[in-house]
Amino acid sequence: MSETERDPSTRTAPVKITDVAAAAGVAPMTVSRVINTPDRVSPETTARVREAIARLGYVPNLIAGGLSSRKSRMVAAIVPTIAHPMFAGLVQSFSDAMRVAGYQVMLSISGYEDTDDESLFRALLGRRPDALMITGSGYSPAALQMLIEARIPVVEVWDVSSRPIDMAIGFDHAQVGAEVAAFLLAKGHDRFAVLTARDSRALSRARGFTEAVAAAGKPIVWEKITPSPSTAAAGREGLRALLPALDQRCALLCSSDLMAFGVVTEARVQGVMIPEHLAVVGFGNLELSAANEPAITTVSPEGAGTGRSAAGFLLRRLSGEGPRETDRVVVPFRIMERATA
């Protein structure tokens, strides 16, 4: 999608059923039948109407007539998982803040694999939420256009988008990786390894890390990518695979604290000395990282703070305030140096 297409200033009025009917050359009732009872419409007409729906980004109102006002007092939130504590904390703080303001949160789990994001957004927007929080920005152009056409407040979290749909609060994940590399280089490490989950944010941190290591003229002696989400079990398996490369001292970046916890646990089983022989850095600053023995060095993002900030952004816009220059926020992070590095 072009920059212009994602520019909120180019939005028009929400697409209506009459717009679809005009584009397809049929009556509005025919469009309604295609949506609700397609078996009553010829295949040729159905195809023409669906093409117009897709081209215009029309989202049928699945609750039309069910509300006495245009406000549903409901917002939607999309996260890849709630199995990971980072996203669970994000959702909890966001939901708490919205509930205090009188809004209920409808939660959708998108997962990490390639999915039909157009169907996901169509299903959510069809319930006519008043606003939307989405995790990340790696959605298809058609799905993003659907959000633009919905003309509701949208806040993107967890990633830093160069061209947000509306508002954005996130991390520069590549910069996280680069700063971890600088931290480990400053401690005298000259051999490095990466254990990362396959999701785009984890891979971005890994890329920032490996590029910074390469720029310093140091080698990446081992790298492994595992399915998302990252787990402690993947960390244990990763450490076993890393063992042949541990003939010399090494520093390992893990894409999450859960994975780092698994690495540290398996290192104890295998007799690998941490941090003397293997330094380990995670991401997330989970409670287990500080409580573990040894305590795990990690990157601390403001996960719960992001949820509260996202709610604040949406509530401000829902109160009638217009866009601000501060609607794009890069969340700070810091490296928590503990016993594993």
In tens, the pLDDT along 264-278 reads 999 999 999 999 999
Q: Range with the lowest mean pLDDT among 107-116, 153-162, 173-182?
A: 107-116
Residue 226 pLDDT grade (very low, low, confident, very high; cuts 50, 70, 90): very high
In the 8-state DSSP scheme, what is residue 121? H
CA-CA distance, 330 to 162, in Å (whole number)? Answer: 11
In tens, the pLDDT along 62-96 reads 555 444 445 778 999 999 888 777 788 889 999 99
Sheet order of strands, 250-254 included: 220-226, 192-197, 250-254, 278-283, 297-301, 333-336
Q: Range with the lowest mean pLDDT among 157-166, 179-188, 251-260, 284-293?
A: 157-166
What tokens were used for 7? 């520019």
**pTM value > 0.85:** no
Rg (CA), the chain: 23
Residue 38 pLDDT grade (very low, low, confident, very high; cuts 50, 70, 90): confident
**Contact assessment for residue 307 and residue 89, using Cβ atoms and an 8 Å cutoff:** yes
* CA 323-326-332 angle, 5° bins: 145
For residue 129, give Cα distances in angstroms to 27, 167, 208.
27, 17, 36
Backbone angles phi, psi at 313, to 5 degrees: -60, -50
CA-CA distance, 69 to 64, in Å (whole number)? Answer: 10
- 250 sits in which H/E element: strand 250-254
Q: Minimal CA–CA distance to 8: which of 327, 329, 272, 308?
A: 327
CA-CA distance, 133 to 153, in Å (whole number)? Answer: 9
CA-CA distance, 303 to 90, in Å (whole number)? Answer: 6
Backbone angles phi, psi at 104, to 5 degrees: -100, 150
Residue 11 pLDDT grade (very low, low, confident, very high; cuts 50, 70, 90): very low
In tens, the pLDDT along 319-339 reads 889 888 888 888 889 999 999
- Match 């979290």 to its residue by tokens: 157
| Burial track 74-88 (b if 16+ CB lie within 10 A, e otherwise) | bbbbbbbbeebbbbe
Residue 298 has pLDDT above 60, yes or no: yes
User: 173-186 and 200-215 helices cross at what angle (nearest 10)?
Assistant: 40
**Contact assessment for residue 242 and residue 208, using Cβ atoms and an 8 Å cutoff:** no
Please report, as a single letter, which amino acid is at residue 23.
Answer: A
For residue 6, give Cα distances in angstroms to 164, 248, 299, 333.
7, 49, 32, 28
Residue 5 has pLDDT above 50, yes or no: no
Predicted confidence at residue 115, as pLDDT, reads 65
Q: Kindly state the average pLDDT of the residues 46-58.
A: 90
Omega into 28 within 30° of 0, i.e. cis? Answer: no
What tokens were used for 121? 């957004």
